[in-house]
Each structure stands twice: as structure tokens, then as C-alpha cells.
Structure 1
Amino acid sequence: MTHARWEVETVRRNDIVVGVDGSAASWDALHWAVRQAYRWHADLHVVFVDTATGPPTQRSPDSRLTQMVTDARRLEPSVRIYGHSVSGGVAAALREASTRSRMLVLGNRGTGGFGRLTLGATGQQVATHATVPVVIVRGRQASEESPIVVGVDGSAGSEAALASALDEARLRGCGVIAVFAYGRPEHPWLSWHGGTDAGALHTCAYTALETAVAPWQDKFPWVGIESVATAEQPLPVLLDLSSHAQLVVVGAHGHDDSAGLIGAVPLKLMHRAHCPVMIVR
């Protein structure tokens, strides 16, 4: 276990990295990451973020890291788990880890500065610049029979989200709900010029969604995929479905957010979803 400077070079491409700080939410993130490492037959790197700015706590960061790693190993002994500690340049360290790992996992909120890390400016920076999927573990932890929900809008990001969602469903043995919430007739994915005929517009949207899903259904024939097209806005639809899902998967940005590094929908899901959220690019 590394207690000083973390050598990011120890992380390999198939490894999973989870950022923790000893808070209740980071324990949730740790347990989720252990299960994910087990599914992927991956090593897990537990990165303890020492963000304390007040008086020293009774237990040192190293002792809390040791406890979390020990607990994780008991949870799933077959997973190789490594512990690391960082006290400066937290966002940079996690972003650097993301350049080498399969996935970066963070909790919903933490203690002291780590709350800002996961859901404030620094956390958004991590999710924005990470080069691998970032999972924000939040909300309830549903059973593995619950579906995975994926947002689809025809953008490159949603294509990557579809691939990740189907891969996760393959590992978990669950179904996928693919959602196209187009919100307006002039959505850039639609070639609709039929005025105000809502029924024909819906048919056009559903056909576009089915066309996008079909190649993935061929690649994952054993995964059940339900296609849902709706004229509602994406955020409320995905939030509603997240209350019954085990995971929501979205691209980092869609058509409307192509100028930025992370879109409004994934950003708000990070704060408000009822289950873990995976942001893919």
C-alpha cells in the first residue's frame, strides 16, 4: 500500500480507480467499485484523498485508507485491491489515473473538500476531462435484475453510451432501456418536416432510435433492449427512469452541447439521479 506519492504508472488499462475520503458516500463508491472490478476481472486502485483543512482527526488518512482497503478485500477476496494516498493535486491525480484505467469511480459527496471534489467545480473538472467513463455513485443501489437506462440522441457520445450500457448489461444479465427524448420537432437527429403531426413525428423518432439500436442488438443478442421514444425533455425522463434503474448511462455531451466538454443533462444527472450515473465519451 502506498502512503505517500502515488505512482500513477502502477495503473494498467484494465484497472478501475475509485476516489475515496472515508465519508459514507465514498464507502458506497468503494463497494460499487469492488463489484465492478469483480465483474470485469479487473484490479482495483483505491485512491484516498486527504482533503482535511481543519484540526487533525483522531485517525490518520493512512489508517482510514487501510480500513477501507481491508473492508474491500473482505467484500470480494478474488479482486486484487491496492491502496494509494494523495494530499495535493487531487483532481489532477484522478484525471491522470483516468488516462490509464478502464473507469474512474467517485462518490456522490464527501467530507470537507471532497464534497466539492465530486459535485463542485473540481468534480465537474474530473468528469469533464477524464478520458474514460466516470461513474458517480449516488442514490439507491438497485438489484442486478433492474434495467440499465441509456440516453440516445444520435450523437457520437450516445453511440459510446449505447456500447457501454450493453456491455454492462451483458455482465450483469439485465435488460437495457434505450431512451430518445427528442423534446422538440427540430431535433437535429430527426429528418422531420411534417409540421405539427405529433404521431408522425413520434414514428420518425422511434424509427431513428430503433435504427441506432439494431446494430447493438445484433452484437448482444442475449440482452433485452426496450426502445422508448418520447417528445419530453431528456432530463426529466432520465431522472424518472433512474428511480427504477441500477445504472443510467449517458454520453458526455449530445447535439446541443457539442461545443462543451460535458453537457447540461449529464451534469444535472450527477446531482439529481436516483441511482449511479456513468458518463461516457
Structure 2
Amino acid sequence: MDATTDGSGLGRVVVGADGSPSARTAAMWGAQEAVLRGGGLFLVHATDIDAMSRFLSRAEIDQSRQAGRELLDRTADEVTARYPGLNIVKELGDGPPAGSLRRAAALTGTIVVGHRGIGGFSSLLLGSVGLEVAASATTPAVVVRGAAEPAEAGAVLAAIRDIDDLGCARAAAHEATLRKVTLRLLNIWSTAPYAGVRAALRNGTERNAREHVHALSGVAERLREEFPELTLDADGEKSRSVPGALVDASRHADLLVAGGRRSPGYLGPTLGRTTLGLLQHAHCPVELIPRYGPGHGSTA
């Protein structure tokens, strides 16, 4: 078996472990995902010693690595208690967390992180590692949100904007197939109350709606051909807030899958407004599929 894939043909599941309650929830979510995929779980802890080595004594470096090994052992024991047959690989690195997770995921793996780390800023809606992973990952990345023991909703939700989200929709279809649940494609388009003359606004809105419906229908058709056994619903609606409508819909989903669109930033990769809103407020785990990620069919 290829080192970067598991028995399902999907990538390996790589989870970041840092000792926080959020990371523990992510580890359990990742373990369940690994079981569904028929593969193993990779637990990664990054000490970030490389960035601080010049300021640390040899004893402090050894102590940090030992603490990391013990953390990985505890996390693995907790996972094994719930999933006794799951193969777990533990990986301790000296680099930064996001980079260590990307290396472990290789070309096709799925990175799973909690929405909050062990940092001291309790007001943050998304931890710094989760933010960096989401903004820079070139493979699928999941930020685990919602309750630690969520009730199953029986649906995977895919946020679809246009035909270039076909790769995202395919990923969501695979996830729904693994879970044996319904896939719901949801296309939300924004209203523009401040635009132009009333007649022009009405005509533009109608044209915009037709374009969105056409794109949604095209994606749904392709999926029905590729996944004939999958129960698929496709819905389109307009809203004053696209992120708000998707967050509300996430209340009734086990997983929300979206294309990882990014806005160009002066200080490196940044997330688009809708993507960031989902990662900060969704009521279920959010999986981002990179627009340019390998093997996912996106063309834009």
C-alpha cells in the first residue's frame, strides 16, 4: 500500500495533537474518519524546537521532546480505548506545527486539527495553527468544530458556488458515501440591496439566480453519474449573508465541505470571508478542499 494513501483510496488521516480539549476532539474525529476509510491514523505533535533551539539548553530540549512523546502516547491510548483495532502511527517533530502536519500529509493526506489550541487567547474563534493550516494546506484540511459528542445529522453538506467546485463536491460525495448518508449540495448567492436602479437590480438578480441554478444543476448531474448509489439533494437560495446561511445550514450536517478559497494577502496566504466565517462559526466540522489541490478535479 502506498505510504500516502489508505485502503479507501483517500489520503491518510493526519491529526495534530497538542494536549488541548479541542485537539482531543479532533483526534477522535480523525480516528473515526480513519476507520471509515479503512486506513490508519497518524498522530503528529510538533515541539517547534527548531525555532527556539538557540535559547534552550540540552536538558530543556530533551524535556520538551519527552513531554511530546508522553502526549502522543496519552492521545494514542485514548483513541485506542474507543477504536481498539485502529493502527496508529505517532510522529514527533521539532518543526512548527502547520509545517509538520503538511509534511505528514504528503501529497494526498487529510489534515485534521481542532478549532482551538493551547494558546492563551480565549477570545479567539480559531486557533493560530488551525488558521495557518487552513490558509496554507495543499491537501484537504478539516477543522473540527461542534460538540465533542455530536448527534448524527445524517447528511454531508457541500457548499457550491460554481462549476469549479466540482472537485469539492466529489470530495463531499466520497465523505457521504463513507458515512452512508445523504449529500446535500447547497448554493447560496448574495443579494445586493445597495445596487443600482430597481429594475436593473431585479434583472441582474434574476440573471444571477439563473447562473447559480445552472451551475448547481451541472455539478449535481455529474455527481449523479459518478455516484449512482448516492442519495443527493441540490438546493439553491439567496441570502444577504452567504457565510451566515451556510453556518445556519451546518446545524443539520455531520460535515460541511467547501472549496478553500483564499484572498491574496500582503503577509502570506489569507482566507476568504466566507471560508473564515465557516471556520469560526460552523456547528459541525468543516473540510476545506484546496482549489488547486492534487487529485480533486478543480480547474479554477
Normalising by structure 1, report the TM-score. Answer: 0.80
Q: Judge conservation of contact 1:16–1:101 (CA < 8 Å) in 2.
A: no
In structure 2, the gaps of 5 or more residues are 6-10, 53-59, 193-198, 291-300
Are residues 1:220 and 2:220 paired?
A: no
Structure 1 residue 194 displacement after superposition: 8.0
Q: Quick one: distance in 2 between partners of 1:253 and 1:77?
A: 37
2:4 maps to which of 2, 12, 29: 12
1:242 aligned partner:
250
Structure 1 residue 268 displacement after superposition: 1.8
2:95 aligned partner:
88
1:29 maps to which of 11, 26, 29: 26
Q: Quick one: distance in 2 between partners of 1:117 and 1:145?
A: 27
Q: Quick one: distance in 1 between partners of 2:180 and 2:152?
A: 7
Structure 1 residue 150 displacement after superposition: 0.7
1:179 alignment partner, SS class: strand
Structure 1 residue 124 displacement after superposition: 2.3
Distance 1:132 1:115, change over 3 A: farther
2:81 aligned partner:
74
Distance 1:123 1:201, change over 3 A: closer
1:279 maps to which of 284, 288, 294: 288
1:84 alignment partner, SS class: strand
Are residues 1:264 and 2:270 paired?
A: no
Structure 1 residue 42 displacement after superposition: 1.5
Q: How does 1:1-281 map to 2 (within 5 A)?
A: 12-13=4-5, 14-50=11-47, 60-112=67-119, 119-140=126-147, 141-154=149-162, 156=164, 158-184=165-191, 196=202, 202=209, 204-232=211-239, 233-253=241-261, 257=263, 262-281=271-290
Structure 1 residue 205 displacement after superposition: 3.1
One-letter code of the match for 1:83?
Answer: K
What are the superposed Cα offsets for residues 133-160 of structure 1, whole Å, 9 maximum, x if unpaired?
000011125444521111111153x222
Does 24-33 or 217-226 show the bigger shift?
A: 217-226
One-letter code of the match for 1:169?
Answer: A
Q: Quick one: distance in 2 between partners of 1:170 and 1:128?
A: 27
Distance 1:34 1:120, change over 3 A: closer
Distance 1:162 1:115, change over 3 A: farther
Q: Quick one: distance in 2 between partners of 1:183 and 1:116?
A: 29
Distance 1:60 1:108, change over 3 A: same
Q: Quick one: distance in 2 between partners of 1:62 and 1:160?
A: 37
Structure 1 residue 115 displacement after superposition: 8.4
Q: Quick one: distance in 1 between partners of 2:282 and 2:136?
A: 21
What are the superposed Cα offsets for residues 74-127 of structure 1, whole Å, 9 maximum, x if unpaired?
222232101122343222211222334420000111213798999344432222
Q: Judge conservation of contact 2:48–2:96 (CA < 8 Å) in 1.
A: no
One-letter code of the match for 1:150?
Answer: A
Q: Judge conservation of contact 1:118–1:124 (CA < 8 Å) in 2.
A: no
One-letter code of the match for 2:69?
Answer: D
Structure 1 residue 24 displacement after superposition: 0.9
Instruction: Give every structure 1 segment of 4 or more consecutive aligned residues whose post-TM-superposition deviation is greater than 6 Å.
Output: 113-118, 258-261
Q: Judge conservation of contact 1:150–1:250 (CA < 8 Å) in 2.
A: yes
2:256 alignment partner, SS class: strand
Aligned length: 260
One-letter code of the match for 2:174?
Answer: D
In structure 1, the gaps of 5 or more residues are 1-9, 186-192
Distance 1:88 1:203, change over 3 A: closer
Q: Quick one: distance in 1 between partners of 2:264 and 2:95?
A: 32
Distance 1:113 1:44, change over 3 A: farther
Q: Quick one: distance in 2 between partners of 1:107 and 1:18?
A: 9
Q: Judge conservation of contact 1:51–1:112 (CA < 8 Å) in 2.
A: no
